[in-house]
């Protein structure tokens, strides 16, 4: 093997660009084990004008950061500075580092320059031993990954690194009109075999410089068959980037129902009181991520304090109407791009009530139920219950703080894809409905009322909220139909209620409960149970054809009608 081949083998792929998925490593310090011998890798990156890259000397480069020292003296003014030495040429002797670092005792700290962080207004997120920087405006996560601290314990450095997403680095370099030049020093012990002996030729040292790297081999005095290999070099990152190439930029959008291209200028200056329409499918990605705030009743979405699509209205079953001027006034193009993908023509809007409106109507009936129910039994038994004591929800507080903070409502107001709403999604929606309407019912006040009505504890002690409520409703129903006095004739009314085993005023809520349990209790009769529950809710099972949006619409209406009947029953009774 000749000298060039031996050197090429030692250098390996050092001149290749290190990437980790979408990220590129711009600084690193670590010691690894290579064939039983230690290898230390030290990397940093300088920002350099392209015109002087040819003046970089591989034998001069050093990834070590030079920094101004801080101390006190009366005539001394401390000016913090960081630099990398790439050669004695102007612009290279104090080159600007992309990553700053400093040493304290046996600790080395790496930190990406604040200029990069502030250029994109990145925000930190702390993990156990790593700092992630996010671009919340997009949002784009993990733009920068930093493991900031390397600890030296002879003879090894623990790993520290800075990795940046390639597209962000590319943009930053364009901003700065610079090239990113990565400099590295690799040191490792190697065995003096036949190939290394060929390079040393019985000398103590071998040194040779090439365009992008310098290689040094030195014999180790205290180890006869071992030598120290050191490779210093540099490489240009993202060198295929063409600064002169005009990048494609979005100049506008085509919206269905609007003639011509809509640019930001046109939207803001020529289109007041004009609207575009998007499918409410646009909400799916936001509903699945708790970092976004979705307002189901209007269809508007906000992301922290970074951006918001507002001035929206839900239209028909499937559409969101947006003020186009407001859309372009306050949002980045990436946000507008996404909403534009869901553009629909006004003729595509399906008439009817959307799921959020149904959810609100149903929820308000539930609130009213709590008020009327507690009002009735407060009057009968001189109690002091509030609606919140019964249904577990404080309507006044919810109205004050806004429904966007009302999690149970948001869960049942999420959009329903009319073209594709699966059985699993349908069952999941039934679970959410039952959480709001069933699990919120409080057992304690219901049990107290059942006891005061005179139902034997032996018959009711195993009952939960739903069964207790059914007894109370049955009691009021028997009283209403018989004309018996609710307090004077308790014993007779209780006896009639207990005799009537078929009474079920909460049939629809029980059916929803049955559907939500299908996931947890899959049995051979699951299909039959689903069909019965659907029938109880007024849905023809054979009409579904494995797409459940219409069934979903119907269960909201059926539950709404159930609470309407109960509210009328209790109201009429209270007015007597």
Four-CA torsion 217, 218, 224, 225, nearest 10 degrees: -10
Residue 37's pLDDT is what? 80
One DSSP character per residue, 141-178 reads EEEEEEE-EEEEETTEE--EEEEEEHHHHHHHHHHHT-
Residue 520's pLDDT is what? 61
Span 42-54, average pLDDT: 91
**Pair 166, 23: CB distance under 8 Å:** yes
pLDDT band at residue 319, thresholds of 50, 70 and 90? Answer: very high
According to DSSP H, which parts of 341-404 are helical?
A: 355-381, 387-391, 395-401
Looking at per-residue confidence, does 138 or 446 come out higher?
446
Residue 243's pLDDT is what? 47
Span 26-43, average pLDDT: 88
CA distance 336 to 313: 17
Residue 546's pLDDT is what? 82
pLDDT band at residue 414, thresholds of 50, 70 and 90? Answer: very high
pLDDT band at residue 503, thresholds of 50, 70 and 90? Answer: confident
**Pair 99, 110: CB distance under 8 Å:** yes
Task: Give the E-state strand segments of 89-139 in sequence order.
Answer: 96-97, 99-104, 107-112, 123-126, 131-135
Residue 521's pLDDT is what? 60
Residue 250's pLDDT is what? 47
pLDDT band at residue 21, thresholds of 50, 70 and 90? Answer: confident
Residue 25, pLDDT above cutoff 90: yes
Element (H, E) at 19: strand 19-20
Residue 387, pLDDT above cutoff 90: yes
Span 70-82, average pLDDT: 83
Mean confidence (pLDDT) of the chain: 90
pLDDT band at residue 73, thresholds of 50, 70 and 90? Answer: confident
CA distance 264 to 262: 7
CA distance 146 to 171: 19
**pLDDT tens figures, 389-413:** 999 999 999 999 988 889 999 999 9
Peptide bond into 139 cis (omega under 30): yes
DSSP-derived letter for residue 343 is B
Span 526-547, average pLDDT: 90
Burial of residue 149 (CB within 10 Å: 0-12, 13-18, 19+) is middle
**pLDDT tens figures, 206-222:** 888 888 888 898 888 77
- Residue spans per domain, the chain: 3-69+77-236, 252-348, 355-575
Four-CA torsion 2, 187, 206, 95, nearest 10 degrees: 110
**pLDDT tens figures, 253-306:** 999 999 999 999 999 999 999 999 999 999 999 999 888 999 999 999 998 878
CA distance 209 to 11: 12
**pLDDT tens figures, 231-251:** 898 989 886 555 444 444 547
Four-CA torsion 189, 191, 192, 194, nearest 10 degrees: -140
CA distance 126 to 132: 6
Which 3 state secondary structure label does DSSP give 320? strand
Contacts of 523 (CB under 8 A, 6+ apart): 529
């Amino acid at each position: 093997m000749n000298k060039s081949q031996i050197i090429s083998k030692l250098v390996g792929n050092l001149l290749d660009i290190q990437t980790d998925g979408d990220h590129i490593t711009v600084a690193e310090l670590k010691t690894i084990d290579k064939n039983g011998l230690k290898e230390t890798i030290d990397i940093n990156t300088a920002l350099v004008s392209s015109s002087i890259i040819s003046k970089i000397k591989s034998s001069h480069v050093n990834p070590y950061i030079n920094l101004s020292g801080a101390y006190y003296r009366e005539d001394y003014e401390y000016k913090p500075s960081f630099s990398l030495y790439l050669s004695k040429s102007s612009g290279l002797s104090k080159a600007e580092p992309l990553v700053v670092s400093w040493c304290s005792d046996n600790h080395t700290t790496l930190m990406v320059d604040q200029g990069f962080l502030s250029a994109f207004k990145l925000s930190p997120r702390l993990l156990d031993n790593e700092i992630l920087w996010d671009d919340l405006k997009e949002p784009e996560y993990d733009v920068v990954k930093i493991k900031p601290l390397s600890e030296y314990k002879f003879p090894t450095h623990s790993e520290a690194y800075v990795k940046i997403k390639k597209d962000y680095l590319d943009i930053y370099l364009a901003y700065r009109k610079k090239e990113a030049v990565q400099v590295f020093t690799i040191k490792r012990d190697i065995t003096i075999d036949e190939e290394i002996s060929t390079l040393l030729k019985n000398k103590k040292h071998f040194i040779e410089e090439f365009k992008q790297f310098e290689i040094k081999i030195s014999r180790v005095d205290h180890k006869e068959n071992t030598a120290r290999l050191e490779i210093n070099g540099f490489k240009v990152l993202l060198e295929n980037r063409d600064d002169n190439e005009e990048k494609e930029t979005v100049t506008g959008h085509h919206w269905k129902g609007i003639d011509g291209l809509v640019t930001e200028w046109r939207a803001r200056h020529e289109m007041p009181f004009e609207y575009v329409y998007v499918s409410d499918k646009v909400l799916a990605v936001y509903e699945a991520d708790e970092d976004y705030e979705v307002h189901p009743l209007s269809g508007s979405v906000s992301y922290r304090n970074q951006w918001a699509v507002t001035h929206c209205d839900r239209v028909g079953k499937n559409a969101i109407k947006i003020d186009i001027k407001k859309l372009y006034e306050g949002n980045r193009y990436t946000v507008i791009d996404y909403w534009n993908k869901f553009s629909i023509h006004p003729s595509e809007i399906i008439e009817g009530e959307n799921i959020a409106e149904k959810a609100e109507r149903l929820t308000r009936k539930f609130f009213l139920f709590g008020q009327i129910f507690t009002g009735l039994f407060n009057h009968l038994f001189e109690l002091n219950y509030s609606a919140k004591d019964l249904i577990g929800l404080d309507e006044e507080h919810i109205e004050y703080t806004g429904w966007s903070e009302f999690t149970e409502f948001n869960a049942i107001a999420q959009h329903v894809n009319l073209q594709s709403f699966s059985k699993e999604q349908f069952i999941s929606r039934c679970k959410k409905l039952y959480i709001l309407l069933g699990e919120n019912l409080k057992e304690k006040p219901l049990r107290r009322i059942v006891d005061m009505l005179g139902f034997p504890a032996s018959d009711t002690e195993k009952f939960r909220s739903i069964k207790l409520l059914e007894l109370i409703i049955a009691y009021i129903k028997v009283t209403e139909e018989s004309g018996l006095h609710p307090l004077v004739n308790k014993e007779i009314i209780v006896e009639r209620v207990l005799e009537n085993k078929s009474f079920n005023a909460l049939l629809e809520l029980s059916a929803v409960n049955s559907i939500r349990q299908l996931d947890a209790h899959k049995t051979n009769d699951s299909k039959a149970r689903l069909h019965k529950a659907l029938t109880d809710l007024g849905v023809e099972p054979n009409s579904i054809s494995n797409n459940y949006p219409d069934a979903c619409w119907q269960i909201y209406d059926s539950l709404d009608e159930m609470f309407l009947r109960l509210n009328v029953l209790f109201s009429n009774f209270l007015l007597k």
